[in-house]
Structure 1
Amino acid sequence: MNAPIPLLNDPDWTRVSALPIRENHEDLVPASLAPANLACYPAYYKLGIPNAVPECYMRRGVYQRLLAASRSLPKGLTLLVMDSWRPYSVQQYLYDTLYNAIENHWPDKPAAELEQLTREFVSLPSTNPRAPSPHLTGGSVDVTLIDEHGLMLDMGSQFDEATPWSHTAAFEQLASPTPHEQQVIANRRLLYRAMIDAGFTNLPSEWWHYDFGNQLWAWYRGQPQACYGPTHPESLESRWRQEIDRRHQ
C-alpha cells in the first residue's frame, strides 16, 4: 500500500477510440443495493445537475471488483461510489460547463487548445458505438474513501476539481511534503492500490476515476480490445416491449 503512484501519460484519445469493442452484454446493477462495505452517493444528482440519475449503475463485473476493493481496505474504511454510468446529456452538460469556464478565463485560446484543456477532466461526449464516452459504458467509476463516520478522507483536492492537484500522482512529485501532504499521499496510495489490485486502471488526471472493461481500461492495460460498449439501464417500458414481442413471435 506504500508504493508510490506511478506517473503515467495521459491517454492518446485517438488511439483509445480506435480500439475494437467486443461487447459481452453484462447488465448494469445498482450500487445502492450493495452490502455495508460499499457506499453510494450519486454526486451529480445531489448537485442538481440536469438529467443526472439518483443511482450509481455499473456493469456487474465492475460491481464485483468494487466489492473486492472495498473489502481489501483497512478496518474502518469504505469505498464510496460517487458516479458511474452517466447519461449522454449529463456528459454533454459537464463538458460544456467546463469548456465555457475555461473559455471565459482564456478567451483568446484557439478552440483546439480549449478542447484539449477540457478533455483533461471531462471526456468528449459520444454515443458512437465504436467510441463511446467512458462513463456511458458502465465501466467507469468515480470513487473515494470514507471513514467509519461516513466522512471523506482528505485527497488533496475535491472530486471534479479541475486543477493540476487532481492528477493522481501530483503529490508524489513533491520533494519535501508537509505532514498534511504526506497524509494526502497515503490516502491516495491506499485508494489507488485497492483499485488497481481489483483489476481497474486509473485516469492519470483524476485521482477519483477508475475503469474496467472499456476502451480506456484496454488502453492502459495493453489489451487488444474492450468488452464494454455504450449501454443504459433497462426501463420498465423496454422490458414490457421485449416481453410482448417474445409472446407474439
Structure 2
Amino acid sequence: MSRKFRFLILFLLLCSIAGVAQKPDKEPIKKLTIPPIEQKMIGQGLVDIQKLDPSIKVELKYSTTDNFVGKDVYGDLSRAYLQPEMAKRLAKANALLRKNHSGYTLLVYDAARPNSVQYALWDALDNLKIPAKNKKMYVADPKIGSNHNFGCAVDLTVVDENGKPLDMGTKYDFFGPLAYPRSEQEMLKKGKLTIQQINNRQILRKAMNQAGFATNTTEWWHFDGMSKAQARAKYGMIK
C-alpha cells in the first residue's frame, strides 16, 4: 500500500470520526409554549383537569364557532382549568360515571372563564334580541361574575364508548325551557322531551351531584361547585 493511499484512508477516517462527534446524541427538546391566558390561570392556582384525569374529554365550545356567539371568543385557550378542589371533584364524578356506565365518560364544554369573556357573552345577547330583564337567565352579569369566572363551575355532557354525546334533548347553550332541569316533567308531558333524554340527563346529574356539584335549574349542562358568594370569598376573579 502506497504512502499516499495510507494518508488518504487516514484522512477519511478522521473526517468520519469528526462527523460523529459533532452529531448530537438526541434531538433538542422543543419547549412547549403555554398561551398567556393559560399562564394567567396557572398563576392563579388553577389546574388543567386533564392532568388529574386524562380520560376526561375536552371540547371548549367558546374556542370554536359552535356556540351562541357564533365565533371563537377564547383564542388560544384550548384546555379546561378549574380550582384544584373543583378539578378533584370532577375527576371523582368521571370515576363514578365510568363505574356505573361502562364506556361512558365526561366531555367538558366550558370550565374556568376570564371575566373579560363574560362581558363578550353578555354583550352577544343583545344581538339575539334577548330582553334586558331576561339576560341574567342565560349569562351572569359580568359586573357580578359567574362561577365560571372563579373557576368553580363546569359545563359538560356525557359521551358513549364511541365518543358520541348522549341525546340530552337540546344542544349546549340552548336558550329556553327545553333546557331547564326544573321543566323536564312539563316538557315530557308536552311531548317535547323523551324519557330517554331525561334519563341521559339524570346519568350526568347523578355523577356530578354525588361528586359534590350542584345542579343548575335552567341549564342541564351547568354545575356549580359552591355558591357564588363562597367562590368570591375564597378565590379571586379570573380577569
Q: Do the two structures share a fold, i.e. TM-score over 0.5?
A: yes
Match of 2:89 among 55, 59, 65: 65
- Cα drift, residue 214 of structure 1: 4.2
SS at match of 2:108: strand
Match of residue 220 from structure 2? 207
Greater helix share, structure number: 2
Gaps of 5+ in 1: 1-24, 104-113, 220-224, 233-249
CA 1:226–1:80: 2 relative to 1, 3 Å: farther
- Cα drift, residue 36 of structure 1: 4.2
Relative contact order, higher structure (CA 8 A, sep 6+): 1
Gaps of 5+ in 2: 1-42, 66-70
SS at match of 1:81: strand
Amino acid at match of 1:194: A
SS at match of 1:169: helix
Rounded to whole Å, the distance in 2 between the matches of 1:208 and 1:180 is 16
Match of 1:93 among 120, 123, 126: 120
Match of 1:144 among 142, 157, 182: 157
**Offset from partner CA, 1:192-231 (integer Å, 9 cap, x none):** 1111111111221111111113416x59xxxxx9533413
Q: Point out the structure with max Rg over C-alpha.
A: 2
TM-score, with length taken from structure 2:
0.70
Rounded to whole Å, the distance in 1 between the matches of 2:202 and 2:106 is 14
SS at match of 1:72: helix
Q: Percent identity?
A: 31
Match of residue 165 from structure 1? 178
CA 1:180–1:36: 2 relative to 1, 3 Å: farther
Match of residue 39 from structure 1? 57
CA 1:50–1:231: 2 relative to 1, 3 Å: closer
Rounded to whole Å, the distance in 2 between the matches of 1:201 and 1:39 is 21
SS at match of 1:194: helix
**Offset from partner CA, 1:63-83 (integer Å, 9 cap, x none):** 110111111111111011111
TM-score, with length taken from structure 1:
0.67
Does the CA contact (< 8 Å) of 2:113 and 2:238 recur in 1? Answer: no
Match of residue 142 from structure 2? 125
CA 1:57–1:36: 2 relative to 1, 3 Å: closer
Give the paired residue count.
188
